Amino acid sequence: MQVVSRGLRPRQERFLAGSAFAFVHLVLVAFAAIAPNLPVGDVSILYRQWMEAGRTSGTWIGLSEPSVYPIVAVLPMLIASIGGIAHFTLSWLVLMTVLDGVAMLLLWRSRALGVRVVWWWLAFLLLLGPIGIGRIDAVATAVAMVGVVFATARPAVASALFTIGAWVKVWPAALVAALLVRARHRLGVIIGAVTVTAVVVAIDLVLGGGAYLLSFVSKQAGRGLQIESALATPFMWAAALHLPTERVFYDHTILAYEVEGHGTGYAANVSTPLMIALVALIVVLTTIAVRRRFATERIAPVAALALVLTLIVANKVGSPQYVGWLAVPIVWGLISGRESALRFRLPAVLALATALLTQLIYPWFYGAVLGTAPAILLVLSARNVLEAIMLVGALVELVRMARYRTAPTSARESAHAADTAPASLSPKDRTAGTMDA
């Protein structure tokens, strides 16, 4: 791919990338239409019903009643309904394509080891399948991807964009946390996040939705162990072995398939403490790495990847669209300098494999998952193991960064390392690399 990219003239390369973007999204739209198990069912049923209720009776989720999503999630649904409820699903797919197109245009100049990063992202979307554009998560991912473009040069702008994404679907808040390693720009990061949050809260209060502003928190709290989650894997195998205590059932309140049996309640309850413990570990390791003056440009995407993977692996919910979140921290790592790109090559490859396995699980063979067929459970288990491997890898990388005082490998990274260096140090001291025993 690198040879192809360098062998083309700029106009030819842009045409090829544009054609690839169109092809990938046409395939995703086609799969959304023909694949089994309603890959855009949330859009065509739930989101559409919510917007129809709002337009006809004035009952809006997040404003007039509780919602499973933060309040800004209503905005893209409302935009998709402008062309009429009858065309809601098509309008949604067009909207997702436009948002991805904007992100791709802004990401176009970014390269990793001589290759434009958009090629990796397009491959990831194609392998992930229609779920990559068929859920509200796709909006948050596109907005966060734009934020990544500004993460190095304009952290405050990136923080604002990540926060907008978090008010669509909570997970981009992890990206804001990762940005805070940039000591020199920390105030700007905080201002960007607080400003967006203040605007969202003010508008919500004006519209009369204050009582339901945080309803998405309580809505998620009562969930059981969803069948695709990593924590559910042993219980799904128990169900496959027809153990009398295990069963897969549909929760009509949460609108998701869950596994129930001996130990599932404990696994669901332990997910939140486990997530908190992992987040605390990541914060500690990141803080130590920053104090050791490791290049902050390289710390931030690793911390972001570790935090996002924690939200996936330690989660009692394992919805397939969660895998789409991985694209953002991986692209961030790929565009954050040569050393960072080298370290993110393996996660980038593993994420592609994870995306492909996820598409096989949903939508193509989801019926087999519900029936606990051993063959598809092997695929599901392999996907969950890959996610765990990536999480362990990110934690190991943070430990490595926390253990060493490493010299930044470029002038650009040296400037970022200086963000956290004491003012009394000389330029030589700021970049000197020493290993702690």
Q: Average the pLDDT over 278-286 and give the result.
A: 97
Residues β-bridged to residue 251? 256
Q: Is the confidence at residue 349, as pLDDT, over 90?
A: yes
Residue range 63-79: average pLDDT?
A: 96
Mean pLDDT of 352-365: 98
DSSP 172: T
> DSSP string covering 277-291, please?
HHHHHHHHHHHHHHH
- pLDDT the model gives residue 78: 97
C-alpha separations of 35 from 80, 129, 338, 386, 392 in Å: 22, 10, 39, 25, 34
Which residue(s) pair with 248 in the sheet? 259
Rounded Cα–Cα distance for residues 17 and 5 (Å): 10
pLDDT value at residue 10: 83
Q: Which residues contact 426 (CB under 8 A, 6 or more apart)?
A: none
Percent of the chain with pLDDT over 70: 90
The mean per-residue pLDDT over the stretch 130-141 comes to: 97
Residue (of 146, 160, 149) closest to 188 by Cα position: 160
Residues 6+ apart with CB under 8 A from 57: none
Q: What is the pLDDT of residue 7?
A: 61
The pLDDT value given to residue 437: 25
User: pLDDT tens digits, residue range 401-436?
Assistant: 998 764 444 444 444 433 433 333 333 333 333 223
Return the pLDDT at 223: 80
Q: What is the average per-residue pLDDT within 274-285? A: 97
pLDDT at 251: 86
Residue with token string 């394992």: 318
CA distances from 351 to 99, 147, 204, 331, 347 (A): 22, 20, 36, 11, 6
The answer to whether 151 and 337 have CB atoms below 8 angstroms apart is: no
Q: CA dist 176 to 68, 163, 286, Å?
A: 22, 7, 14
pLDDT band, very low/low/confident/very high, at 295 (cuts 50, 70, 90): confident
- The Cα–Cα gap between 328 and 347 comes to 12
Full DSSP string of 361-422: IIIITHHHHHTT-HHHHHHHHHHHHHHHHHHHHHHHHHHHHHHEEPPPSSHHHHHHHTTSS-
pTM, full prediction: 0.90
- Cα dist. 340→111, 348, 420 in Å? 12, 12, 18
Encode pLDDT of 97-106 as tens digits: 999 999 999 9
Compute the chain's Rg from CA coordinates.
Answer: 22
Cis ω on the peptide bond leading into residue 363 (within 30° of 0)?
yes
Least confident of 79-88, 175-184, 273-282, 421-430: 421-430
Specify the pLDDT at position 414: 44
